[in-house]
Amino acid sequence: MAIKIILIILRWIFALPAGLITGFLVMFPVHWFLMFMYSIGGNPVTLFISIETTERLIQGFVIPAVTIYVFAIIVPNLKKISTLILGATIFILHAINWILIIFNNGYYCYGGGVCMGPYSGLAWIEAPFQIGVLFLVVWYVYKIVVEDNELE
């Protein structure tokens, strides 16, 4: 009985770090796929959108999606509410990021007035795209994965 309780506690402790690590690990092959796609050229997407913008748009989808999915698989109980809380937290962080980008004219600013310029002219549109996609991710994980008891 004590081992079971310890395992439940450990699953709660490691659910979010495991989700985040998995999200970043998934981006590695995505990055190399994009590098390959942009290196061969001739693709209509590569003519209009820089690789940095494309990668950031995909990161805004893949990392939260994988993080939320892995988190929902690992947590031992309260899957619905914990998945919604994690999704809402990521959603709020994306919204704050977008607001800060708008107020700083597309610059990412850190403490002490240190600002980093945008890598492309589309920094202002990346955050709302990521917010919209994140909403779909949270909806998918909650409706299909959690409510249909696919994770049970």
Please report the pLDDT score of residue 138 as a whole number: 72
Q: In angstroms, rounded to a whole number, what is the distance separating the alpha carbons of residues 67 and 15?
A: 9
Please report the pLDDT score of residue 127 as a whole number: 66
> Which of these, 60, 59, 49, 5, lies nearest to 27 by C-alpha position?
59
**Residue 47 CB-density burial (10 A; 0-12 exposed, 13-18 middle, 19+ buried):** exposed
Please report the pLDDT score of residue 93 as a whole number: 79
Please report the pLDDT score of residue 30 as a whole number: 86
Domain boundaries, given as residue ranges, for the chain: 2-146
- Specify which residues 109 forms β-bridges with: 115
pTM, full prediction: 0.70
Helices (H), 2-78: 2-40, 44-48, 51-74
**Residue 73 CB-density burial (10 A; 0-12 exposed, 13-18 middle, 19+ buried):** middle
Please report the pLDDT score of residue 120 as a whole number: 57
Please report the pLDDT score of residue 18 as a whole number: 92
What stretches in the chain show pLDDT beneath 70? 42-47, 101-102, 104-127, 130, 142, 144-152
Q: In angstroms, rounded to a whole number, what is the distance separating the alpha carbons of residues 40 and 36?
A: 6
Q: In angstroms, rounded to a whole number, what is the distance separating the alpha carbons of residues 58 and 41?
A: 19
